[in-house]
Amino acid sequence: MKKKLKGNPWLVPTMSWILAGMMLLSLLLPDQSFSQTENRPLARSADFTWKSMETGKTGKDLNAWFSDQIPGRNLFFHADYLIRKMSGQKEIKGVYLGRDALLSDPEKPAGDTVTENVNAINTFASQSGMTCYVLVVPGAASIQSDRLPFEAPAEDVNPVLDTIGSTLSPAVGVDVRQSLGEHASEYIFYKTDHHWTSLGAGYAAKTLLAAMGIDLSLDDFDRMPVSHSFEGTLASKTGSLFLDDEIELAVAKNNPNYIVTWADGSKTSSIYHKDALKTKDQYQVFLSSNQSVVRIETDADTDRTLLLFKDSYANSVIQYLLSCFSSITVVDPRYYYENLDMTLGSDLFTDCVFLYSYDTFVTGSSLHDVLDGWNTEHAPEQAQPEAEAETQPAEETQPETEAQTDPQTEDQPAQDQENPEA
């Protein structure tokens, strides 16, 4: 007869006392409103109204509150990462635990977003008369795939990027996969953040400007390290340890003088927001936080002016463009609610660039929302058939005129219905 194994009789009571003690500490200690480690707001006290208790919301709120306010939360957060990493887990919350790096799994295209963005850009390029260049940036998981965990099922972005490139016309596609791939072994993407580094941005800027007929040499820039303690969005998601990034600026040796006008109307003489280096989101050192419109006026010896539609990937590229344009107007459609005519009327733009990360371009609708409104307002007027009434003699009676114009009136609603949908 097999002898039954006895468990430790003190295990359950001990764990219960520990949990009770932590709950008591959570009640006694003041709630924290924000986690610097995770870079997100934390849950506060629960809603104890009768309706919330009846629907179960109170219980969910209490669970979220205890999870977020538990004493030593950061310790548990990092311990969870280490346990998962050592157990061989490949991914946490869409972030791959790669070789000496965290790599975000590329987003899957959302519905018809890619087609809608491409069509809106092509129409804008045709109607505005500007030469428009489109640069969609693949992330580290695509360019530095050798860093991914073994057999990690990362999304393949190449078919979508190929489709974007082949359907852009008259807009011009700029493909940076080769130029970034040639430097994949270099420090071109942050290890703890989804953005590229100044070096990666520089290689892309060189390729973009070459397509625009402008020569750029990275040797003409001084690299200035400004932080050795950057922990980005991917670290905040996973709780990673022992991975730190360095942020450096790229300043042209013959940098032009320039003035930056920010979205709130304030002006500065630098595109860098160095106070951001004292915060969690140090990437904001490049062009500060996301803003609707930023205008940069330079004394560069050129007549070329640039209109730049972008997401945050472009922020670290702009430092390479200052000497190439006399003005750069930066529009982030995610925060832009103005009439685009106001921005277009602020300068005689010679060039237009759309610079986006792959994830934003294939999932975000703000770009085509902004462009579609302008495209509809400025669509070429279709020639309307002359009313038959105009060909009739002036002495014809009113009833005859009405009878002849009825067919035109019947056709008109079908034309009018298209305009609100456009």
Residue 410 clears pLDDT 60, i.e. is over it: no
pLDDT digits (tens, 9 = 90+) for 179-222: 999 999 999 999 999 999 999 999 999 999 999 999 999 999 99
- CA–chain centroid gap for 125, Å, is 22
Tokens of residue 195, six digits: 């953005």
pLDDT digits (tens, 9 = 90+) for 220-268: 999 999 999 999 999 999 999 889 899 999 999 999 999 999 999 999 9
Q: Where are the domains of the chain?
A: 36-70, 101-418
Q: Tell me which residue of 84, 389, 380, 359 sits closest to 240, measured CA to CA.
A: 84
At residue 400 the predicted structure's pLDDT band, cuts being 50, 70 and 90, is: very low
Residue 355 clears pLDDT 80, i.e. is over it: yes
Q: Tell me which residue of 33, 38, 31 sits closest to 281, measured CA to CA.
A: 38
pLDDT digits (tens, 9 = 90+) for 118-149: 999 999 999 999 999 999 999 999 999 999 99
Question: Looking up tokens 């709950």, which residue turns up?
Answer: 23
The Cα diameter of the chain in Å comes to 120
Distance CA 346, CA 184 (A): 39
| Predicted structure pTM score | 0.78
Cβ contact 357:313 at 8 Å:
yes
